[in-house]
Structure 1
Amino acid sequence: MPLPQVCIFLALFLKLSILTIQTAFTYITGTISELYDEREAANIAHIIMEHLTGMSKLDRIVHKTKILSPDQNNRLKLAIEALQRQEPVQYITGSSWFYGMELMVNKDVLIPRPETEELVEWMVHDAAHRHRLQLLDIGTGSGCIPLALKKALPDAQVSAIDVSEGALHVARTNASRLRLEVNFIHMDALDAQQVATLPEFDMIVSNPPYITQSEQTSMQERVWGYEPSLALFVPDNDALLFYRHITILAKSKLQPGGALYFEINEALGKEVVALMEEHGFQQVTLKQDMFGKDRMVKGEISD
């Protein structure tokens, strides 16, 4: 049966509330096939079905003929409508995985990316055999970075700041759910008077806004249309805005031997390195992510 006929047939099933787990999965992939390639559509369908049923992929295979309840049918319909609007699946389910942790996410925070896990791994590697470190994350969003650091370095004292109260609510909720102690602070990293109140740290990290407004045209709508612009974009005429302010902050707040870590726009690697060197950071290292793109920078303060 051709795909359009399959979708019509399954739509009738949905209307009649007799969808099974298997037919619901097929219905999801069929309705989003023009928006995503086959593999991504299947992955999204698995995420939605696990969210709806609470069952693992294996359990759903075993129980593929189980009929969805009326409530599950209604939630499926809402999920499909959101997917067709190109809303990210993580916002539909309200959760995203990062560093082995299931995090709550909503439209107040960015969806955590796998590349950011590499930044965390770099810091954890550098922190090996060091104890009672003081760590700070700037622009924490969902809290993914400081929570991952606290998970990997349980004796570290971890703090995080964000200008968004909505983001801090999400981060604090995640910390509570995961039973990880992180000190979340409402603060604007661009306000010199506010950041002056911060203590000193051994490591500072930030994944700040770094996409210029002109780059928005080349981005997928499901990113810029739903994720918070406050956490994404910088002016075209000042792409280094946050890197500059955070570099100056870190220079005054890092203890001797401390280090500053950034996630960066792949097009700005050399510029960020030059900026950090200009402000006195040493052994500044530009590192590529798993895809070979310039994605992370580290600079050190001399002892």
Structure 2
Amino acid sequence: MTIQSAFTYITATISELYDPRESANIAHIVLEHITGMNKLDRLVHKTKILTPDQNTRLKSAVEALQRLEPVQYVTGTEWFYGMELLVNKHVLIPRPETEELVEWIVQDIAARQQPHILDIGTGSGCIPLALKKTIPHAQVSAIDVSGEALEVARSNASRLHLDVHFSQVNVLNSQETAFLPVFDIIVSNPPYITQSEQANMQEQVWGFEPSIALFVPDNDALLFYRHIALLAKDRLSSRGILYFEINEALGQDVVMLLEESGFKEVVLKQDMFGKDRMVKGIIV
């Protein structure tokens, strides 16, 4: 099979699952992963024959795509803030909206002298690694309840040669969080999708990404925001800032929660699609 025929094979096989543009994008991602060649090189060498090993990997990848497995899990990687990160079923796939959250933090704090930052629910480590890469003088820590997720995050830190301290901590357990020090910045992209919202989600998300990182009970959508706000109030330095990524439907609820918790200068920010996506508050 040539590179060109492999592209046709992938797009034809998944055409009933994705629209033509997305099918093409997925095919390009898979072929770059399998061949190690970028799009231009594959165009120039489109008649090059795949090796037997590449053919085997191609078949395996297409079978996974037919099961609706996200292409990021098929290749085991995703790009975030200019970094290629390892991802697997134990971590959420990093998303562009979270890059916007990182950029907001960078704009706010890049001039601070050695800010001490904590990311809660780090998953792949995308947020703290992006912050450490962009603000090298920052001291960056991250916690997650999942040991498997922390393995991925530590692997990403090692590959990128970024010094981030990772710890296994359940933010809902006050005995475990009692040992955390004081920080200047706390950020979190916590679980915020209510279980009833699952019906409106793509199977590629709820069927493969870790539910522990996605869902909260319908009767307590602010579960993690409430616990993290209480923790942040106790663990932030003077003029320390708490940043959240949020469910677009919960913007005003999170703003009210922070204000009632004693945070000042609370700001609700929209993402590139005009959806309520980020909130920050300051401890005075």
Do the two structures share a fold, i.e. TM-score over 0.5?
yes
Alignment counterpart, residue 228 of structure 1, candidates 196, 206, 210: 210
Q: CA RMSD in A?
A: 0.5
Q: Deviations over 1:212-231 (max 9, x none)?
A: 00000000001000000000
Cα distance in 1 for residues equivalent to 2:142 and 2:60: 35
Q: Which residue in 2 is equivalent to 1:126?
A: 108
Q: CA deviation at 1:129?
A: 1.5
1:165 is the counterpart of 2:147: yes
Question: Are 2:61 and 1:84 equivalent residues in the alignment?
Answer: no
Given residue 241 of structure 2, which amino acid in structure 1 is its aligned partner? A
Aligned partner of residue 203 in structure 1, secondary structure = strand
Where 1:184 maps in the other structure, the secondary structure is: strand
User: What's the TM-score once normalised by structure 2's chain length?
Assistant: 0.99
Aligned to 1:9: none
Unaligned runs of 5+ in 2: none
- The residue matched to 1:257 in structure 2 has which SS? strand
Aligned to 1:176: 158
Aligned residues: 284
What amino acid sits opposite 1:39 in the alignment?
Answer: R
Identity in percent: 74
Q: Which structure 2 residues correspond to residues 7-156 of structure 1 after superposition, within 5 A?
A: 19-156=1-138
Counterparts of 2:109 and 2:260 in 1: how far apart (Å)? 25
Q: Deviations over 1:250-298 (max 9, x none)?
A: 0000000000000000000000000000000001000000000000000
Q: 1:131: how far off? A: 1.4
AA aligned opposite 1:275: L
Q: 1:229 and 1:169 mapped to 2: Cα distance? A: 18
Aligned to 1:202: 184
Distance 1:128 1:240 in 2: 29
- Shift of residue 91, structure 1, vs aligned partner: 0.2
User: Shift of the alpha carbon at 1:203?
Assistant: 0.4
The amino acid of 2:35's aligned partner reads T
Q: TM-score, normalization: structure 1?
A: 0.93
Corresponding residue number in structure 2 for 1:10: none
Partner of 2:227: 245
5+ long unaligned stretches in structure 1: 1-18
One of 252, 262, 266 as aligned partner of 1:280: 262
The offset of 1:128, in angstroms, is 2.6
What is the aligned partner in structure 2 of residue 14 from structure 1? none
Give the aligned residue type for 1:253.
Answer: R
Letter in 1 for 2:93: I
> Is 1:261 equivalent to 2:243 in the alignment?
yes
Residue in structure 2 matched with residue 189 of structure 1 by the alignment:
171
* Structure with max Cα Rg: 1
SS at match of 2:11: helix
Q: Structure 1: how far apart are the matches of 2:180 and 2:69? A: 37
SS in 1 for 2:111: coil
Partners of 1:55 and 1:176 in 2: CA distance = 24
Secondary structure class of the residue paired with 1:132: coil
Secondary structure in structure 1 of the residue aligned to 2:279: strand
Q: Displacement of 1:130 after TM fit?
A: 1.1
CA distance in 1, matches of 2:56, 2:276: 44
Write out the 4+ residue segments of structure 1 that deviate beyond 3 Å after TM superposition: none
